[in-house]
Structure 1
Amino acid sequence: MNDVFTLQQRIAELEKQLKYEREVSIQKDAKIAYLYEQFRLAQQKQFGKSAEGFVGQGELFNEVEEIAEKAEPEQQGISYTRNKPKRKPLPKDLPREQVIHDIADKSCACCGGELHKIGEDTAEKLEFIPAHVKVIEHIRPKYACRECEKSGTGSTIKQQPMPAMPINKGIATASLLSQLITSKYQYGLPLHRQESMFKQYGIELSRQTMSDWVIKSAALFTPLVKRLKEELLKQPLLNADETTVNVVKSDKVNSYMWVYCSGADSPKPDSPIPNIVLYDYHTSRAAACVMDYLDGYQGYLHVDGYQAYEKTQASLVGCWAHARRKFIEAKKLQGKNKTGKADVVLSLIQKLYGIESRLKDKSADESYQTRQAQSKPILDKLKQWLEKHQPNLVGNSKLIDAANYMANQWPKLIEYINDGRLSIDNNRAERAIKPFVIGRKNWLFSQTATGANASAILYSIIETAKANGLAPYDYITACLDELCQSTPDIDSLLPWNFKG
């Protein structure tokens, strides 16, 4: 009897051990599969195409042209002549200098008669003139009274006061400051490279001096940025995003630059929403950052899936670009020339974007009506796909992540069809944050929080100017000249009021 009991215990122990080893094996296989997926994704990221498109996206419309271009003319059975590209004419407002290339001998080679002009050919060539640097001498004559001097009572000296300048007691004019700012923040040229450029003109401008000028210029722009923020928070819909920034003299490993923008890259015909792009620097990515900035804002807010935005009082609108991106990653793990569940979702998402491409020039009301009639049935199919497949997905961890993201974000992802003013994605904010990311690659980091805050202010001015079709250099020059006055007219500097 004891032998039977001992045997049963032994069998139970072996079963328990076998179950444990099976679970370990499953976990090990899952870990190996996950690492393999990451390896394939890393390979694709390093050596594959970076575009987010998939087979069928784009080729839907240019497949015939692509095949015709790749095929040899002999294979097509017809002669093939490529159309010559047309060069855009040079702007009419550019200064022009005429160089006449005339013949010296205007007699006919046959009979010796005088030739008469029957026409002329003109060829335009673009000449580049390097930057012109000059010194402006501010001369202020002094005047005194001789009669008072003779009487010994002393003389009152009269002199015109020095005009207000952006940098008091400095040599920098508004135009020079604008050149420094646009070179650094619009074109990503670090100050140490600008220092080298000025040396070519025999001018010694240290990067420390230029850095001080840039920070002081940013301080001048503070009231304008504050006014732009007031206008931003009045708008019915906004976009938001954030990215990391390294600040050397900071206790934080990563600090963050947040971006908030209104308007659109291609505004609706009936849209009164102004184009504003503002940056906000913080040492964290906490929800308090966005909550403090939005200050109780209750309109629509286009965002990605970051949970910090859930803490705001805004009505959140999801981003189909983010959802699509995750399914594209899942598709990459399927291997070349293989189709699967990710392709089904990507095809439906592409149809949603196809509808949006046809709504670019439509009013908000037309967009709403079309989305309800055409986009909603496609969204219903995506919802059905989620309900059918999400609970049963195994293997491709990226596909599971993509499905989970879409399910968790679903109420926000479908919000855009309920208001014709809304966008299908948050690409407006992603494009707004891109100039900062590109600039960050060029100058790598800010030394201090003061420098990072200055960057936020100056990026705000430049990107808002660009969004309103203004030339940042001209806009910044005019703003600096006005903002250094004792009582600047801030409203006149708002981009939509700016006269140039």
Structure 2
Amino acid sequence: MAASATTLTEAQVEALTTRVQHALDHDLALPPEDVRLLLDALMTLAKLQAGIKSRRVGLHKLRKLAGLVDASEKLSSLLGTATGKSGSRKASSRSPATSAEPPAVEAVPPTVEHHALEDVSKGDDCPECETGKLYKYDPASFVRIESQPPFNAVQHVAERLRCNACGVFITATLPDSVLQDGGRGQKYGYGARALMAMNKYFAGHPFYRQGTLNQLLGVPMTASTIFDQCEHLANDLKPVHDTLLKLAADAWLYHIDDTGNRILDQKPVMKRSRHDGRERLRSGIHTSGMIAEQGDGPPLVLYQTSLSHAGELLDDVLRLRSDGSPPPLVMSDALSSNHVSRTPLRIALCNAHGRRNFADLVVHFPEEAEAVLTRYQLIWQHDTEATEQQMTAAQRLAHHRKHSLPVMEDIRRYGADRLAANAAEANSSFGQAVNYFNKHFDGLSAFCRQEGAPLDNNRMERGLKLPIRNRKNAMFFKSAAGAAIADVITSVIATCAAAGINPLTYLRSVQRHASEARQSPQSWLPWTYQSHSSQDVKAA
């Protein structure tokens, strides 16, 4: 639960304190609005305490945590100017690789309904002037978006006959349109299961909220029922998910990151460290995310919620890597938990994190922060130019090596000069930001030295919004099994979105052909299933 930014005057704080004390003295209940104010205050206090315990959190970051300042890291917001000192620049359309939105899914064509003229026909006299004749003309057309409940209950009544001699039942055959949405006697159709899962794992609507909404709309179903249907869907998707893991093992580029999560039934366990082999008690639960670029195919998006970090997920995936494959390129932040212990790698580090260290210094070191941020702005401008000009990977590398590498070296030189001039101490927040930049310079400047290396890890940061959205609404998983179900379904939905495939149509098709998907999952990936399911695509 996130604390909202609530600003109270001194008089309002005094009045709230008086009301709380009055309620305590007379054993009264506080009104809901006062309870909300107190809850916001407690959440803000908890964030501040956690920030104060961290040695790397300065005043500006504490103010952001408390919601007192804008959390934006745009140069114009940080420096309080329209464009910063580097001048204005035309806004440009971003490519799918850098856009916050997934590739557009092909629009579902509208249902066409014809409305015929009933009173007149072609060749009749004009009813207005009574002189001319009517002739065929282009029809008038418009599109109306209609609403309907997410789920509808349909009772199928099949006629039956029974032999009075042997007692055999003869039951009417169900039409194909019914059987394509589930077997005989199946209460919740494939489409209903797919929609329940998308509401939960993409839209972030908890099971109980879905149940309450459906009951309000006249189709009651419990939260446990919705979970059961999602479990059925996850079982059908598991072979596809396992195949995605195998394909990801041979990717040439990985974006990885993780975010905290909760599993109520998960107890701390002893796990052997990947780095020194010593066993340690592990209790921190994270949802790790990975975007694996295949090179000649759509990106693969995978999630794992467990007692592990993103580096451990990548370690598990790379165990499946084919022998003789070249070292992959890995984009992440500089945390040691993102390191891989066995496979040789080429490392690229996120410049958004490197820049953020300086963005947090605008209060105490405004001159130094502005100098570094305006230089960093040039790097993203150069990357945008490469995208707009549709440069190849080799051309982009040459472009950055010529224009961006001198800027990166200038930032490093500027930081060293300021510390040498005693403008800031080495153990100050500015000194720590400079030390981070220098220590990880090779990884931060990898986009100037390695072909195809990304500039930042923003794609994975955006990809983690799916599990974060679910965490903010549902707050936790009850068990590791529930987390595993979420990982399978969220991974498949996110991979569909990244490939521009309609997830609802795909999830229905895989359920309909579950036995075939188990035998040959490679034929039922989001970008291959249509050739084996042409009838499903037409039906969708």
Does the pair score TM above 0.5? yes
1:261 and 2:291 are equivalent in the alignment: yes
Equivalent-residue separation in structure 1 for 2:131 and 2:171 (angstroms): 75
Contact (CA 8 Å) 1:364, 1:420: kept in 2 or not?
Answer: yes
**Counterparts in 2 of 1:395 and 1:377: CA distance versus 1, 3 Å:** closer
Structure 1 residues 379-429: Cα deviation after superposition (integer angstroms, max 9, x where no partner)? 221232243345653299432332222122111111122233221111121
User: For residue 230 of structure 1, what is the aligned residue in structure 2?
Assistant: 246
User: For residue 309 of structure 2, what is the aligned residue in structure 1?
Assistant: 285
User: For residue 383 of structure 2, what is the aligned residue in structure 1?
Assistant: 356
Deviation for aligned residue 1:179: 1.0
SS in 2 for 1:330: coil
Equivalent-residue separation in structure 2 for 1:122 and 1:47 (angstroms): 55
- What is the one-letter code of the residue matched to 2:337? A
SS in 1 for 2:73: coil
Equivalent-residue separation in structure 2 for 1:486 and 1:342 (angstroms): 54
Tell me whether 209-218 or 116-125 shows the greater mean CA deviation: 116-125
- What is the one-letter code of the residue matched to 1:258? S
Q: How does 1:487-498 map to 2 (within 5 A)?
A: 487-498=518-529
User: For residue 201 of structure 2, what is the aligned residue in structure 1?
Assistant: 185
**Counterparts in 2 of 1:457 and 1:167: CA distance versus 1, 3 Å:** farther
**Counterparts in 2 of 1:401 and 1:395: CA distance versus 1, 3 Å:** closer
Q: How many residue pairs align between the two structures?
A: 426
User: For residue 478 of structure 2, what is the aligned residue in structure 1?
Assistant: 447
Equivalent-residue separation in structure 2 for 1:47 and 1:122 (angstroms): 55
Equivalent-residue separation in structure 1 for 2:404 and 2:62 (angstroms): 34
Q: How does 1:11-410 map to 2 (within 5 A)?
A: 38-45=58-65, 46-55=67-76, 59=83, 63=88, 93-96=109-112, 107=128, 124=142, 126-131=144-149, 133-135=152-154, 137=156, 170-252=186-268, 254-263=284-293, 272-285=296-309, 288-295=312-319, 298-312=327-341, 313=343, 314-334=345-365, 339-360=366-387, 361-390=390-419, 392=422, 393-394=424-425, 397-410=428-441
Deviation for aligned residue 1:245: 0.7
Equivalent-residue separation in structure 2 for 1:158 and 1:145 (angstroms): 15
Deviation for aligned residue 1:272: 2.1
Contact (CA 8 Å) 2:260, 2:287: kept in 1 or not?
Answer: yes
**Counterparts in 2 of 1:369 and 1:433: CA distance versus 1, 3 Å:** same
Equivalent-residue separation in structure 1 for 2:190 and 2:487 (angstroms): 20
- What is the one-letter code of the residue matched to 1:432? G
Deviation for aligned residue 1:185: 1.0
SS in 1 for 2:255: strand
Contact (CA 8 Å) 1:37, 1:333: kept in 2 or not?
Answer: no
Tell me whether 424-433 or 308-317 shows the greater mean CA deviation: 308-317
Deviation for aligned residue 1:459: 0.7
- TM-score under structure 1 normalisation? 0.73
Contact (CA 8 Å) 2:158, 2:172: kept in 1 or not?
Answer: no
Equivalent-residue separation in structure 1 for 2:147 and 2:168 (angstroms): 51
Deviation for aligned residue 1:52: 1.2
Equivalent-residue separation in structure 1 for 2:331 and 2:474 (angstroms): 29
Deviation for aligned residue 1:127: 2.9
How large is the RMSD of aligned CA atoms in angstroms?
A: 4.3
Equivalent-residue separation in structure 1 for 2:503 and 2:82 (angstroms): 34
- What is the one-letter code of the residue matched to 1:453? A
Equivalent-residue separation in structure 1 for 2:180 and 2:107 (angstroms): 35
Structure number with bigger Rg: 1
Contact (CA 8 Å) 1:482, 1:489: kept in 2 or not?
Answer: no
Equivalent-residue separation in structure 2 for 1:397 and 1:123 (angstroms): 68
Contact (CA 8 Å) 1:262, 1:276: kept in 2 or not?
Answer: yes
Contact (CA 8 Å) 2:419, 2:425: kept in 1 or not?
Answer: no
Deviation for aligned residue 1:166: 7.5
Deviation for aligned residue 1:289: 4.7
**Counterparts in 2 of 1:142 and 1:376: CA distance versus 1, 3 Å:** farther
- What is the one-letter code of the residue matched to 1:380? E
Q: How does 1:410-425 map to 2 (within 5 A)?
A: 410-425=441-456
Tell me whether 389-398 or 372-381 shows the greater mean CA deviation: 389-398
Equivalent-residue separation in structure 2 for 1:315 and 1:490 (angstroms): 31
Deviation for aligned residue 1:175: 0.8
Tell me whether 370-379 or 388-397 shows the greater mean CA deviation: 388-397
- What is the one-letter code of the residue matched to 1:407? N
Structure 1 residues 39-76: Cα deviation after superposition (integer angstroms, max 9, x where no partner)? 4433345132222111389827985999xxxxxxxxxx
- What is the one-letter code of the residue matched to 1:281? T
**Counterparts in 2 of 1:487 and 1:326: CA distance versus 1, 3 Å:** closer
Equivalent-residue separation in structure 2 for 1:483 and 1:474 (angstroms): 14
Equivalent-residue separation in structure 1 for 2:185 and 2:259 (angstroms): 37
Equivalent-residue separation in structure 2 for 1:231 and 1:481 (angstroms): 24
Which structure shows the higher helix fraction? 1
Contact (CA 8 Å) 2:158, 2:171: kept in 1 or not?
Answer: no
Tell me whether 378-387 or 324-333 shows the greater mean CA deviation: 378-387
SS in 1 for 2:448: helix
Deviation for aligned residue 1:275: 1.2
User: For residue 427 of structure 1, what is the aligned residue in structure 2?
Assistant: 458
Deviation for aligned residue 1:488: 4.2
Deviation for aligned residue 1:469: 0.5
Q: How does 1:466-481 map to 2 (within 5 A)?
A: 466-481=497-512
* Runs of 5+ consecutive residues of structure 1 not aligned to the other structure: 1-31, 67-89, 265-270
**Percent pairwise identity:** 18
Contact (CA 8 Å) 2:252, 2:293: kept in 1 or not?
Answer: no
Tell me whether 381-390 or 98-107 shows the greater mean CA deviation: 98-107
Equivalent-residue separation in structure 2 for 1:126 and 1:164 (angstroms): 28
Deviation for aligned residue 1:97: 5.0
Equivalent-residue separation in structure 2 for 1:287 and 1:120 (angstroms): 62
Contact (CA 8 Å) 1:165, 1:484: kept in 2 or not?
Answer: no
Structure 1 residues 308-355: Cα deviation after superposition (integer angstroms, max 9, x where no partner)? 233432222111011111111112444xxxx41122211121111111
**Counterparts in 2 of 1:401 and 1:434: CA distance versus 1, 3 Å:** farther
Deviation for aligned residue 1:455: 0.8
- TM-score under structure 2 normalisation? 0.68
Equivalent-residue separation in structure 1 for 2:284 and 2:474 (angstroms): 16
Equivalent-residue separation in structure 2 for 1:326 and 1:185 (angstroms): 32
Contact (CA 8 Å) 2:194, 2:504: kept in 1 or not?
Answer: yes
Equivalent-residue separation in structure 1 for 2:213 and 2:246 (angstroms): 39
